[in-house]
Structure 1
Amino acid sequence: MKWCWSYITPFVCVSVFLFHVVNYKPLTYNTVYTYPLWGEVLGWLLALSSMLCIPVTVLYKLLRCKGSLRERWQHLTTPVWGRHHMEYMAPESGAKLLPPAGTKSTLLFESVI
């Protein structure tokens, strides 16, 4: 599973995209009308706006992390399991997601600014 999501899936996606770029033909309707270039560009921008979010984020994080390229890639592709994921902890650990009954609960807000 690790190999599939880390290497095989990105390779297949890039291969399909490059195959389309190499075999590109202008979009036509009924072999008579050829769509204008601005229409095709607009369509590609709309399609790529949702598809490029993940690769752009990966490139940004790869460039911003410290360490060698191999260390950065391993850091980005390794899942984080720890005490901050209390819903995955064993029941015998005594971790509680909700405060005990009879106590006042407080909401904490963290500012991003």
Structure 2
Amino acid sequence: MAGHIEINTRLAAHEVHLAPQNITPYLERLEAILQTFQRSPVLDEAIRLPEVLSIVGLSKSTWYARLNARLPGYDARAPKPFKLGTSNRSPTAWWRSEVMAYVLACAAAQPAH
């Protein structure tokens, strides 16, 4: 079709067809999101154990069992912690993005209802 552009975008299992006149609001929204990210100096943050437990919804012992390869509850997908310093006594933290990705991976592995 001359003069007509159709943009196909896949979102999950659904296909969306947008004509040029309908895409402007979406492009404007994407531009606003991009500008927000460009202004953000940090896109990730280190979080401590209480927040990790709040996000994953597990007890401290269950969470640490998922991190320990010698225990039956070990989950290789669980994000590895890191120290916020050079000492053994330095606080332990996790990257928020890795914790969130872990929760999403766990949810995606569950059968659909």
What TM-score bracket applies, with the shorter chain setting the length?
under 0.3
Bigger relative contact order (CA 8 A; separation at least 6): 2
TM-score (norm 2): 0.23
Determine which structure has more spread, i.e. the larger CA radius of gyration.
Answer: 1
TM-score (norm 1): 0.23
Larger strand fraction of residues: 2
